[in-house]
């Protein structure tokens, strides 16, 4: 004989209401978390610099440059990342606060930053130096225009200068101003590598219009230059001499 099953319990209205309340409480509890600030804006990106406070722990003035060409230098401040805000720069230019984000979290060194005046341009460009704690630096150029505000000068969304490592073999390069822009001369390892390592040297010209930068084609300066020749003939590359012909106040 088959075993007789017990009677099925039919949930009453009161039981259903109790279950509904319980599920609602559990849902609210699951949605609650720590009160600590999130690391981004919910889309995997930091909040925009304009939405971040202009002052925070670690904020420091890093450069002075006449960004709008009115004859008065403007102060550029560096803001390290904090909470939902990534690292950014700020400045009060023409009576308005303006900001721009940085691509990485390397600190900007005030003692390595300065302003340059490009021939044919009335406003300065700030040259900022970001330091890597293990050795190396990144040069960032910053300009201002009435339409774009404070901006870093990039080409294809990348800084015009490569990162220079100083804890390994460095990247020999130099830069100088020219009419309407500047040029960067850089040495790259000759390929294929022969019995004795050597360098190829090339130069790229950049035209600056407001906060927009356009790169010309790279032109070969020298080919298969030996280390000793590089140090003797191209010392400005080895010592990373930047914009010595157009620094403001020099």
Between CA 6 and CA 8 the distance in angstroms is 6
Phi, psi of 216 (to 5 degrees): -90, 180
Rg (CA), the chain: 28
Instruction: Kindly state the helix (H) or strand (E) to which residue 77 belongs, with its residue range.
Output: strand 74-79
Report the relative pairing of strands 198-209 and 181-189 from DSSP bridges: antiparallel
**If pLDDT is split at 50, 70 and 90, which confidence band does 46 have?**
low
Number of Cβ atoms within 10 Å of the Cβ of 62: 22
pLDDT at 103 over 70: yes
Instruction: Kindly state the helix (H) or strand (E) to which residue 110 belongs, with its residue range.
Output: strand 107-116
pLDDT at 32 over 90: no
Q: Could you read off the pLDDT of 201-226 as tens digits, one per residue?
A: 999 999 999 999 999 999 999 999 99
Q: Could you read off the pLDDT of 3-21 as tens digits, one per residue?
A: 433 444 444 444 444 444 4
**If pLDDT is split at 50, 70 and 90, which confidence band does 250 have?**
low
CA distances from 23 to 17, 18, 27, 172 (A): 10, 9, 6, 65
Share of the chain above pLDDT 90, in %: 65
pLDDT at 63 over 80: yes
pLDDT at 51 over 60: yes
């Amino acid at each position: 004989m088959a075993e007789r099953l017990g009677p099925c319990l039919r949930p009453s209205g009161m039981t259903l209401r109790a279950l509904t309340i319980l599920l609602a409480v559990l849902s609210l509890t699951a949605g609650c978390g720590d009160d600590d600030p999130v690391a981004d804006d919910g889309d995997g990106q930091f909040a925009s610099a304009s939405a971040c406070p202009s002052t925070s722990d670690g904020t420091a003035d890093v450069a002075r440059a006449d960004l709008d060409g009115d004859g008065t230098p403007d102060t550029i401040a560096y803001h390290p990342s904090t909470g939902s805000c990534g690292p950014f720069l700020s400045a009060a230019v023409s009576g308005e606060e303006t900001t721009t984000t940085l691509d990485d979290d390397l600190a900007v060194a005030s003692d390595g930053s300065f302003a340059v005046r490009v021939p044919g341009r009335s406003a300065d460009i700030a040259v900022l130096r970001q330091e890597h704690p293990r050795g190396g630096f990144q040069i960032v150029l910053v300009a201002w225009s009435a339409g774009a505000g404070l901006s870093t000068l990039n080409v294809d969304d990348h800084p015009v200068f490569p990162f220079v490592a100083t804890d390994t073999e460095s990247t020999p390069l130099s830069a100088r101003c020219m009419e309407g822009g500047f040029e960067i001369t850089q040495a790259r390892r000759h390929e294929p590598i022969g019995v004795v390592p050597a360098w190829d040297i090339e130069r790229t010209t950049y035209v600056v219009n407001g906060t927009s930068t356009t790169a010309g084609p790279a032109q070969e300066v020298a080919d298969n230059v030996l280390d000793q020749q590089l140090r003797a003939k191209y010392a400005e590359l080895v010592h990373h001499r930047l914009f010595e012909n157009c620094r403001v106040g020099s």
